[in-house]
Amino acid sequence: MKILAIETSCDETAVAVLEASGGIKKPKFKILENIISSQIKIHQPFGGVVPSLAKREHTKNLPLIYKKLLRSPAKGGKSYNLKPNLVAVTVGPGLEPALWAGIEFAKALSAKLKKPLIGVNHLEGHLYSSLLPSKSSKNPPDGRQIKAKSLKIIFPTIVLLVSGGHTVLLKMDSLTKWKTLGETRDDAAGEAFDKVARLLKLPYPGGPEIEKLAKIGNPMAIDFPRPMLKDKNYDFSFSGLKTSVLYHLRDNPKENTADMAASFQQSVIDVLVGKTMRAVDNFNAKSVMLCGGVAANKTLRKSLAGASKKYRVGFIVPDMRFNTDNATMIAAAAYMSVLRKKKLPLKANGNLGI
């Protein structure tokens, strides 16, 4: 099955073509096209994503990206017929104005190509991103024509799905069966990174800036709280941690910014890793999976990998380029949705859960 997918849940306009096979138990994917257009520079002056601007840029960029898709460098810049079997589009969660831009474009494209259209859950895209081919040194930088093997998931696995809008812990028993163990009660981890970055007067997006600054700071310099780490449940809360940073900055205006960034980051990571590994222990999991935008944080990846090794369980994390928003993961989730006979309404749902 060849799937043409569109992703516009936030500030990345993404289109991809994925070739899927293998069925529901052993899915295999080959990335034929993968194009992403970032809006970071447009939203940077506002310190965050402006939904109306995001929609405007998606509406402007989608036709241009699709045109670029049809003149693939893989074909020597010559036009060719994609001939997809299916068109897929993200319907939520995300910013609803941005989501609608993708949905309306997908509807028009589906009608033009005379191919069925399916709505996809963005969070399931992150969940299935671990099935995408692992990059090899021989692959071109844009990810085209990847032939590397997919990562092997050993079940049951504990999934830490952590992004700008979500922090969720799942127990996954198979590619089609999972249960939510806990989630954030307020700010998601990625959201906390962005808010603390603004407090420290760092540019948007805040997560990468915090991580960069933390490299030269002392993570033990400031004893920030580890919210809910000792609670017996698997829920998260990061709004109080953000407030602690605010008060510390107010009371210590000359504090080393790098130390604050490193100490804040360490606090978040300690909570994420601690709760994840407790779930591993309690549910006798065989592996840990990390996915979502915050999975691009190298310190978190290293910490969770180290903890997994200590517990003697497997560690699974998608290639870096599949952690942040992209359409390849939406195509993979679309394939699994078809096999599961799962249909979502073709309307934007900003609060869609997993």
CATH code of the domain in which 204 resides? 3.30.420.40
In-domain check, residue 210: yes
Same domain for 171 and 130? Answer: no
Task: Please tell me which residue, 345 or 47, carries the higher pLDDT value.
Answer: 345
Does some domain include residue 185? yes
Domain that holds residue 260: 157-317
State the average pLDDT over residues 254-258: 93
% the chain with pLDDT above 90: 75
Residues 225 and 273 occupy one common structural domain = yes
Q: 180 and 140 in one domain?
A: no
Residue at 354 is within a domain: no
More confident residue, 275 or 138: 275
How many residues can be counted in the chain? 354
DSSP H helix total and E strand total for the chain = 10, 10
> What is the pLDDT confidence band of residue 74, given thresholds at 50, 70 and 90?
low
Average pLDDT in the 8-17 region? 94
Domain co-membership, 75 together with 180? no
Mean pLDDT of the chain: 90
Euclidean distance between the first and the last CA atom of the chain, given in angstroms as a whole number: 24
Task: Report yes or no: 33 and 69 within 8 Å, Cβ to Cβ.
Answer: yes
Determine, yes or no, domain membership for 353.
no
Residue 348 lies in a domain: no
Residue pLDDT, tens place only, 103-113: 999 999 999 99
**Residues 96, 169 within the same domain:** no
Strand order in 287-291's β-sheet?
Answer: 177-183, 167-174, 157-162, 287-291, 314-316
Cis peptide before 205 (omega within 30 of 0): yes
Is position 138 within any domain?
yes
- Pick the more confident residue, 71 or 242: 242
- Same-domain pairing of 106 and 173: no
pLDDT tens per residue across span 293-320: 999 999 999 999 999 999 999 999 998 8
144 pLDDT above the threshold of 70 = no
* pLDDT classification of 154: cutoffs 50, 70, 90: confident
Whether 262 has a pLDDT exceeding 60, the answer reads: yes
| Mean pLDDT in residue range 215-225 | 96
Q: Check pLDDT > 80 for residue 150.
A: no
Q: Are residues 220 and 275 in the same domain?
A: yes
pLDDT of residue 3 exceeding 90: yes
Identify whether the C-beta of residue 253 lies closer than 8 Å to the C-beta of residue 262: no
123-139 per-position pLDDT tens digit:
999 999 999 987 643 33
pTM of the model: 0.91
Does residue 168 fall inside a structural domain? Answer: yes
Could you give the number of structural domains in the chain?
2
Q: Are residues 135 and 233 in the same domain?
A: no
131 & 173 share domain? no
Average pLDDT over residues 256-267: 96
Whether residues 208 and 237 share a domain: the answer is yes
Asked if 136 and 183 sit in the same domain, the reply is no
Is residue 347 one of the residues assigned to a domain?
no
**What is the average pLDDT across 33-54?**
88
- Does 167 lie in the same domain as 76? no
